[in-house]
Amino acid sequence: MKKNLLKGIKHLFLIFVSMVFAFPFVWMIFGMFKTNNEIWQEPYKMLPDHFNFGEVFANLGALHFETYAFNSIFVGIVGSILMIFIALMFSYAIVFMDSKGMKILFWIVLGTYMLPSAVTYVPAFVILAKLKLSDTLTGLIFSNLASVFAVFWLRQSLLKMDRSYVEAARIDGASHMEIMRHVIFPLNKSAIYTVFVLTFVQQYNSYMWPSIMLKSQEKYLISQGLRQFFIQDGAYGMNWSQIMLASTVAILPIIVIFILTQKWFLTGIKEESGSK
């Protein structure tokens, strides 16, 4: 009886916390259907007076968010895949190539994680400008290829692996790339997908560095496009239903990515990677 009571209290607490976190998103979605007067009226109402889908679709056509969304999705997916490939190779070298130099290199790389990201903006911009990659999505992807977080997470997953799998593959004459493809990736799929989701969200939502890097409006990411919409079209309150709609559109790709990868993401969070 006591056990069931504690379980019920725990579930009620989790439901309450979930509602608190979900409230801004629910308010944002219902805000798409509200007029400015409905949004600011007191006492506040959650539901709109009318669900006018025709007006929502009209506002969606007026947003012109397609370019911003494509840029963000492209940078997020391509950048995350390349970042994981590089981080996985580096983690493999650290864990399975017995060398003191690799261990020292890992701790040096890990030490750079303590540096604020703003410290790297000026030197990174200068390097990209010399390579003629400033104001390009290619340069933005290139500048985000190195991730200390991805290296650390994947290294921890590889350390939990049974080394006999890798040694057996070496005995069979497999190359390093074949070992990574047929041994490392299948056994660490959850950790890899977890890193992919986290890095995708980080790159998709990135604002400060792209604002420095990108000057052409057609190359803006969705976070910059949303700001442009606030300043130029939304005018900080002239049409809040459009602002709510734009914000909803901005988070949809993240929700889709999480739904598609939640199985591996949750497994990776629970630290079950590295073993079958």
Tell me the per-residue pLDDT of 167-224, one tens digit each, with 9 for 90 and over: 898 888 888 889 988 889 888 888 888 899 889 988 998 888 998 888 888 889 988 8
Tell me the per-residue pLDDT of 33-48, one tens digit each, with 9 for 90 and over: 887 777 777 777 778 8
3-state class (DSSP) for residue 275: coil
Per residue, the 3-state secondary structure of 250-272, as one string, reads HHHHHHHHHHHHHHHHHHHHCCC
Rounded CA gap, 208 and 55, in Å?
33
pTM: 0.81
Contact 137, 73 (CB under 8 A): no
Per-residue DSSP letter, 136: S
Domains of the chain: 75-237 (1.10.3720.10)
Structure tokens at 228: 């442009």
